[in-house]
Amino acid sequence: MKLAFATKEIDVTKWKEDLLAVGVTEKDLRKDQNSKFENPILKKLDSCLGGVLAEVSTKEDFTRKSGQSTGLGEPAAAAAKTAQASDIAIVLASSEGLSANSCKASAIASGAVLGIYEDNRYKSESKKPALKSVDILGLRTGPELEKKLKYAQDVASGIILGKELTNSPANVLTPGSKLAEEASNIASLYSDVLSAKTLNEEQCKDLKIGSYLAVAAASANPPYFIQLTYKPPGEPAKLKLALVGKGLTFDR
């Protein structure tokens, strides 16, 4: 299921959906002499909640020290799963020490996508995630942010595909019927820059790829040598790189 992401400029106290996740630093949790938050966002939220936020923030398991860190997107998605929330928002209490707005939004988006992911392909019963949309508040809006959000979702989708291939059993992930098929699918999605080529056993023999064939001989399935080629648009590439892996699927 694909999440819908949006960046919005809105007062956090006016946001009225299922769940609001707030990212804070140690500095954001500072309080004045009246035990009130100094951070304006936390001060507003605490006022709306009748002081509960200030009280909870003093708990030992709530605190983190300088130098410690945690993601925001994945914990927010996990909280959404627990609460069965369909629409959530994520806001940063402050931006100090963080990278550009577009990078923050990208990190939050990819974390949220990965946070709700569960591999339920081989379960007899499973629940689909309730989470449908994520609003990112306070990071402004614009084409650059939208571009970064799409990029983050694409990266997260690639990570999920890698996980599913890695976690597939040997009787499902065979070289020809599954792995080569996935390579072809990826190439077709990005046909302007990607191409796929699959060599069968005879073609591998013609090219004298003996070491590869020797390893593949341990499997009852015939070998297929899969090649994905990326060619950027424009002028010919000045540097060529090759990433090589055996792609074994039988010793799992």
- Residue 72: band (very low, low, confident or very high) from pLDDT cuts 50, 70, 90: low
The letter for the amino acid at 176 is G
The letter for the amino acid at 103 is C
CB atoms within 10 A of CB 234: 6
Is the model's pLDDT at 225 over the cut of 90? yes
| Residue bearing the bigger pLDDT, 249 or 161 | 161
Region 6-28: what's the mean pLDDT? 85
Region 33-57: what's the mean pLDDT? 88
Between CA 112 and CA 101 the distance in angstroms is 17
Of the candidate ranges 137-141, 171-175, 226-230, the one whose mean pLDDT is the lowest: 137-141
The letter for the amino acid at 98 is L
What tens digit of pLDDT does each residue of 142-172 get? 788 888 888 899 999 999 999 999 899 988 8
Region 5-32: what's the mean pLDDT? 85
Between CA 136 and CA 226 the distance in angstroms is 40
pLDDT of residue 116: 86
Region 104-118: what's the mean pLDDT? 85
Is the model's pLDDT at 105 over the cut of 90? no
Q: How many CA atoms lie within 13 A of 167 on its CB side?
A: 11
- Residue 106: band (very low, low, confident or very high) from pLDDT cuts 50, 70, 90: confident
- Residue 178: band (very low, low, confident or very high) from pLDDT cuts 50, 70, 90: confident
**Encoding tokens for residue 192?**
């302007």
**Encoding tokens for residue 177?**
């019927």
pLDDT of residue 158: 92
CA distances in angstroms from 92 to 43, 44, 88, listed in the order given: 13, 13, 14
pLDDT of residue 139: 75
Region 111-134: what's the mean pLDDT? 86
Q: Give 127's DSSP letter.
A: P
pLDDT of residue 202: 96
* Residue among 59, 61, 60, 79 at smallest CA distance from 71: 79
Is the model's pLDDT at 7 over the cut of 70? yes
Is the model's pLDDT at 53 over the cut of 90? no
Of the candidate ranges 118-127, 178-187, 196-205, the one whose mean pLDDT is the lowest: 118-127
Q: Which residues contact 240 (CB under 8 A, 6 or more apart)?
A: none
- Residue 80: band (very low, low, confident or very high) from pLDDT cuts 50, 70, 90: confident
For the chain, the average pLDDT equals 84
Contact 120, 83 (CB under 8 A): no
Region 195-211: what's the mean pLDDT? 94
pLDDT of residue 244: 87
Is the model's pLDDT at 211 over the cut of 70? yes
Domains of the chain, start order: 4-26+64-167 (3.40.220.10), 170-252 (no CATH)
pLDDT of residue 230: 93
Contact 128, 1 (CB under 8 A): yes
